[in-house]
A and B are shown apart, each in its own frame.
Chain A
Amino acid sequence: MLKIEGLKASVEGKEVLRGIDLEVPAGEVHAIMGPNGSGKSTLGYVLAGREGYEVTAGSVTFRGQDLLAMEPEERAAAGLFLAFQYPVELPGVGNANFLRQALNAVRRARGEPELDAMQFLKLVRGKVKALGMTEEMLKRAVNVGFSGGEKKRNEILQMAILEPAFCILDETDSGLDIDALKIVAEGVNALRSPERGMLVITHYQRLLDHIVPDRVHVLVGGRIVQSGGPELARELEAKGYGELQAAA
């Protein structure tokens, strides 16, 4: 589903990704672990097409298409979703309005009919409840005045509504207490399906207790230095990244 080959990227002239090879087939959840500054978030931004992240080498194929040639909104329409580590505040923009506009943009691109306000509200209500959110949060401006946990839930809500083919979760566990973490993980697990791929970026292993990955990759210094099964995450938790960093 997602195939990354020899990907190099720099930010402000500094090379952050130094040759990444990674393949995530449909139906699988892969985790990317690594210490701070290893390039985890950069990988997420490069895949989503953020400005200022310059790809200097390599290719990314997503569902048979050249991902790197696409605009950010085209990637979203093709089914790529990035749950942000720091969700962005949009003052004055109602959360429900934002969600509907995003959903209809994606539906338009897929050739599906747009939803009107009533249809949308019906769809969103169920999802809100499942994520332990309140409808009041739909009325507030996007992420404005949200607590850290509310912001993360809001990301998962968007994911649940847009039903993307591929999800990238960037440090979705950061800033969450254990109860919120469980709810978020449940939300993510509910979206696991044979048609959907996921890339879970995290510093800590604890998220992976709740979202059990099929494969774990360790990113150090802009390269994947080790890959393995879910047990690799627990190993890292015990040993830390020190050894791997020294080797890199």
Chain B
Amino acid sequence: MPAATDTLETVRDVTEGGYRWGFETPIEQELIPKGLNEDIIRLISAKKEEPAWLLEWRLKAFRAWCAMEEPRWAAVRYPPIDYQDLHYYAAPKRKAQPKSLDEVDPELLRTYEKLGIPLREQERLAGVAVDAVFDSVSVATTFKEKLAEAGVIFCSFSEAVREHPDLVRRFLGTVVPPSDNFFAALNSAVFSDGSFVYVPKGVRCPMELSTYFRINARNTGQFERTLIVAEEGAYVSYLEGCTAPQRDENQLHAAVVELVALDEATIKYSTVQNWYPGDAEGRGGIYNFVTKRGACRGAKSKISWTQVETGSAITWKYPSCILQGEGSVGEFYSVAITNNRQQADTGTKMIHIGPRTRSTIVSKGISAGEGQNTYRGLVRILPKAQHARNFTQCDSLLIGDRCGAHTVPYIESRNPTARVEHEATTSRIAEDQLFYCRQRGMTEEEAVGLIVNGFAREVLKELPMEFAVEAQKLLAISLEGSVG
């Protein structure tokens, strides 16, 4: 979470154990009726005052979705989702587009403060620009002007559609086509807001960019869409965080993220996913079905995914890289924790198309309680990927004998000069490690936190400095009550 180190402590004090971000913001909501049909899509598009081409694009996606079946191949179990029993748009009520933060509802600002994301100018995190997305809309984006000076566009998706329609139209759906999969099609039909980033040729984005997603409204789905484009030689580091209130019913989140990196561009995309995971009996929690994909279109371009997945009742997510440009590089660093009844099926796809493309996958799965944690990954080497390289390391840590850890890698090679290496291990926290830490004065929970963070270190070190400390604490908190 993009929060000051002591924020968690504060939140820890105000709530009693468990999920510390589970409060609800009492705010007047604007909700459209439940259900999903072409009229609802027209309504969403109209609310957002979208151009006709985008409405057509949404309708096409919706029609494709109607003909698709929900995927069942992942190692996650959940009752059927009634897609007609959801609100597809929810937004805090307001009169007009806020021109500045002074016009933003103070209740919203308080919510973000409580989450550790102060948006007001004097309190902002130095060096981090934040786009705050509350249910279906972006409520504020900080440091926009400063970024604009460098030529970087960082704004809500809706604003991008209004202000930069040509850019959006040029790249939208080119990495994740609207009919890519069931959840991507759903998102394409109903997506409401998200972030848009454009870094022009040769520009190194002067600060970390961050989007903070918050689900607040009841019985609504969140369907954000993020598009990041890095032109030739550009560099950007982006981080997203997410939390939701603690509720007994499940809520659906189906996002799409598209990244495009042109020649020698680098995009570093980090996620700290902390949606409400449900309680110890498996009641409530977010169903997180996300399609994230990056296209390394240019030569020597690089896309690096880092994710810390601690939340959600169900996680279904495979941030991937299409390595098209010669010598392009894809990376995937992941820590996923499943505690209590959480289920995660997550991994990546590295599609090597161009010559001398390289990819690295480091996945650390931690299972506790009755959690089920699956790494599912694909490394595909196509015939033209001369001298492609992949290295994959998948480690699982089991805490207790009621959980499960699974590894399902797919390796497909059609080029003899390519080299693919995959390693996977399974272990647990050894009794002597716990005793050693306790003999040095740590409690069992502190010891578990320490050992788990050690296990995940290779991934955590990939996070931007500003967020690494928070992520470490989150790992420890997510495992509370899992030992003893």
Q: A and B touching (C-beta < 8 Å)?
A: yes
Output the least CB separation between B422 and chain A (Å).
20
- B451 engages A71 (CB within 8 Å): no
Within 8 A of A (CB), among B432-466: 432-433, 435-444, 446, 450-451, 453-458
Instruction: Give Cα A97 to B453, complex, Å.
Output: 11
- B residues contacting A by CB (< 8 A) are 430-433, 435-444, 446, 450-451, 453-458
In the complex, 14 of the A-B residue pairs with CB atoms within 8 angstroms, ordered by the A residue number, are A51-B435, A72-B438, A73-B441, A73-B442, A73-B444, A90-B433, A92-B455, A97-B450, A98-B450, A101-B446, A102-B437, A102-B442, A106-B441, A158-B440
A50 at the interface (CB under 8 A from B): yes
Interface centre among A90, A92, A94 (most CB of B within 10 A): A92
Q: Which of B435, B440, B444 contacts A50 (CB 8 A)?
A: B435
- B441 engages A88 (CB within 8 Å): no
Instruction: Give Cα A112 to B348, complex, Å.
Output: 47
> Chain A residues near B453 (CB, 8 Å)?
92-93
Instruction: Give Cα A82 to B432, complex, Å.
Output: 13
Output the least CB separation between B452 and chain A (Å).
9
**7 tightest CB-CB pairs across the interface, nearest first?**
A92-B454, A93-B454, A102-B440, A92-B457, A76-B441, A72-B438, A105-B441
Contacts beyond the supplied A76-B440, A84-B439: 14 A-B pairs with Cβ under 8 Å: A48-B435, A49-B438, A72-B439, A73-B438, A73-B442, A88-B430, A88-B433, A88-B435, A88-B436, A90-B450, A92-B456, A94-B454, A97-B450, A109-B441
Interface centre among B440, B455, B456, B458 (most CB of A within 10 A): B440
Within 8 A of B (CB), among A135-171: 141-142, 158, 162
Q: Nearest CB to that of B460 among chain A residues?
A: A92
- A90 engages B439 (CB within 8 Å): no
A25 at the interface (CB under 8 A from B): no
> Chain A residues near B444 (CB, 8 Å)?
73
> Chain A residues near B456 (CB, 8 Å)?
92
- B451 engages A162 (CB within 8 Å): no
- B440 engages A105 (CB within 8 Å): yes
- A105 engages B443 (CB within 8 Å): yes
Instruction: Give Cα A83 to B456, complex, Å.
Output: 27
Instruction: Give Cα A98 to B438, complex, Å.
Output: 11
Output the least CB separation between B427 and chain A (Å).
9
- B455 engages A91 (CB within 8 Å): yes
Q: Nearest CB to that of A76 among chain B residues?
A: B441
- A residues contacting B by CB (< 8 A) are 48-52, 71-73, 75-77, 81-82, 84, 87-94, 97-98, 101-103, 105-106, 109, 141-142, 158, 162
Given contacts A88-B433, A105-B446, contact A71 B438 (CB under 8 A): yes
Q: Nearest CB to that of B450 among chain A residues?
A: A93
Instruction: Give Cα A234 to B252, complex, Å.
Output: 75
- A76 engages B454 (CB within 8 Å): no
> Chain A residues near B442 (CB, 8 Å)?
73, 101-102, 105
Instruction: Give Cα A71 to B484, complex, Å.
Output: 13
> Chain B residues near A49 (CB, 8 Å)?
438-439
> Chain B residues near A93 (CB, 8 Å)?
450-451, 453-454, 457
> Chain A residues near B450 (CB, 8 Å)?
90, 93, 97-98, 101
Q: Which of B440, B443, B454 contacts A91 (CB 8 A)?
A: B454
Interface centre among A49, A50, A72, A101 (most CB of B within 10 A): A72
Output the least CB separation between B449 and chain A (Å).
9
Given contacts A88-B433, A90-B433, contact A76 B439 (CB under 8 A): yes
Q: Nearest CB to that of B440 among chain A residues?
A: A102
Instruction: Give Cα A105 to B441, complex, Å.
Output: 6
Instruction: Give Cα A81 to B439, complex, Å.
Output: 7
> Chain A residues near B438 (CB, 8 Å)?
49, 71-73, 76
Output the least CB separation between A121 and chain B (Å).
17
- B458 engages A72 (CB within 8 Å): no
> Chain B residues near A76 (CB, 8 Å)?
438-441
Output the least CB separation between A140 and chain B (Å).
12
Instruction: Give Cα A81 to B438, complex, Å.
Output: 11
- B431 engages A51 (CB within 8 Å): yes
Interface centre among B438, B439, B442 (most CB of A within 10 A): B439
Q: Nearest CB to that of B456 among chain A residues?
A: A92
> Chain B residues near A94 (CB, 8 Å)?
454
- A90 engages B440 (CB within 8 Å): no
Instruction: Give Cα A43 to B436, complex, Å.
Output: 16
> Chain B residues near A75 (CB, 8 Å)?
439
Instruction: Give Cα A158 to B454, complex, Å.
Output: 19
- B436 engages A92 (CB within 8 Å): no
Output the least CB separation between B176 and chain A (Å).
34
> Chain B residues near A91 (CB, 8 Å)?
454-455
- A90 engages B431 (CB within 8 Å): no
Q: Which of A50, A142, A162 contacts B441 (CB 8 A)?
A: A162
Given contacts A109-B441, A162-B440, A162-B441, contact A92 B446 (CB under 8 A): no
Q: Which of B432, B443, B446, B458 contacts A88 (CB 8 A)?
A: B432
> Chain A residues near B458 (CB, 8 Å)?
92
Instruction: Give Cα A75 to B450, complex, Å.
Output: 20
> Chain A residues near B431 (CB, 8 Å)?
51-52
Given contacts A50-B435, A51-B435, A90-B433, contact A141 B454 (CB under 8 A): yes
Given contacts A88-B433, A90-B436, A93-B450, contact A102 B441 (CB under 8 A): yes
Instruction: Give Cα A244 to B441, complex, Å.
Output: 38
